[in-house]
Structure 1
Amino acid sequence: MRNDEILLLIGRLNYAWTNTESLLIYVLSFFMGGRKDVAVVTFLTLNTSRARFDLVERLLKLDGTEPEIRHSLVPLMSRMKAAAKVRNKYNHCIYSFDEHGEIEATQLMRIADFNDTLRYGKMEMLDDEELKRIETTVREVVEINKGILDFIEERKIPM
């Protein structure tokens, strides 16, 4: 059944992503002088991935941030944001089913304002090409996690 393949793939994406989110705590800890407790409180207070990314990106832009740190983390943050778009799509959409009960498309739950009209519910097919995109994103998230772990280990940030 194709639904099982799709749901397993989305589950893998979510599982990999939860690790990515938790690793951000250690990046925040680095910027907060090793205070993991402060990093955890900050992480939990910022209740969206986007807010957490924005914070790390802004900390990277501070004058006191070493260029090497920027060089290590800016590309990782950019990759995280791209992967987050895919993850968010599949966690915040409605699935459309064919007459056999198989998932065939996603419907995005986002409103777009265009002057005096609204558009919402954009439908996108969940075809083989899209499944490959999800698989690629899962592999990308795993690589991002490895990159963050390398950063943590190189700087001896306590875990």
Structure 2
Amino acid sequence: MSAPVSEDAFDRVLLLLGRLNYVWSNTESLLIHLIAGLAGTTKDTALVIYLTLNTTRARADLVERLAKMEGRGAGERDRILELVGRLTQLAGLRNQYNHCIYAFDPQGGNPRTIQMRISDRRTGLRMGRETRIDAEAVRDIRDCIEDLTALNHAIWTLIRDAGYPA
């Protein structure tokens, strides 16, 4: 069982979540350059496409499909698929903290997230899954920020190597 997070520590968690959102948005927006390069269009046109697709999943699917199109070199395709796969994998933690409400224990226990998602089951519904924000959760957030930062650099390297519009 992880140590509880104090109120002061929770304020630091909120700052970490702000950083997670910043790093996420910055990294996801690099899909614009991938769309431009893969579709052979301008960055402005790719931006319109990116903004029209209103979910990360839709944007990632588009990039993956463009990368798989005939005529694409296997090395370029595989590199893009690996990077977009990493982005998709990291989306889970980001979504957990962005699609929830936060609950606080008046007795000073750990704050927790309550997921804003409904899961249909065969005979009922499940909703409101709760997760404690403890020291382990803080480590997970920090790790995700580091992973996204490394992914951001890797995508920028690909953009430059492939000569995509930057």
User: Same fold per TM (> 0.5)?
Assistant: yes
Query: Does the aligned pair in 1 maintain the 2:36–2:42 contact within 8 Å?
Result: yes
Report whether the alignment pairs 1:19 with 2:26. yes
Aligned to 2:48: 41
Most deviating of 102-111 and 19-28: 102-111
Q: By how many angstroms is 1:100 displaced? A: 5.4
**Match among 63, 69, 92 for residue 62 of structure 1:** 69
Structure 1 position 67, deviation (Å): 0.4
Q: Contact (CA 8 Å) 2:115, 2:127: kept in 1 or not?
A: yes
Q: Tell me the equivalent position of 1:148.
A: 155
Q: Normalization by structure 1: what TM-score?
A: 0.94
Deviation for aligned residue 1:148: 0.6
- Given that 1:96 and 1:103 are in contact with CA atoms closer than 8 Å, whether structure 2 keeps it comes out as no
Of stretches 61-70 and 93-102 in structure 1, the one that deviates more from structure 2 is 93-102
Give structure 1 regions of 4+ aligned residues with deviation exceeding 4 angstroms: 100-103
| Native 8 Å contact 1:2 1:102 kept in 2 | no
Instruction: Report the Cα distance in structure 1 between the residues aligned to 2:125 and 2:131, rounded to whole angstroms.
Output: 18
1:125 maps to 2:132: yes
Give 1:101 shift.
Answer: 6.8
Are 2:130 and 1:104 equivalent residues in the alignment?
A: no
The AA in structure 2 aligned to 1:86 is: L
State the identity as a percent.
43
- 1:124-145 per-residue CA deviation (whole Å, 9 max, x = no partner) reads 1111111101100000000110
Moved more, 82-91 or 102-111: 102-111
Deviates more, 1:144-153 or 1:66-75: 66-75
For residue 72 of structure 1, what is the aligned residue in structure 2?
79
CA RMSD of aligned residues (A): 1.4
SS in 2 for 1:85: helix
Aligned to 2:141: 134
Task: Determine whether 1:94 maps to 2:101.
Answer: yes
Structure 1 counterpart of 2:4: none
Q: Whole-Å Cα distance in 2 between the matches of residues 54 and 106 of structure 1?
A: 28
Q: Which runs of 5+ in 1 are unaligned?
A: none
**What is the CA-CA distance between 1:36 and the residue it aligns to?**
1.5
Aligned residue pair count: 159
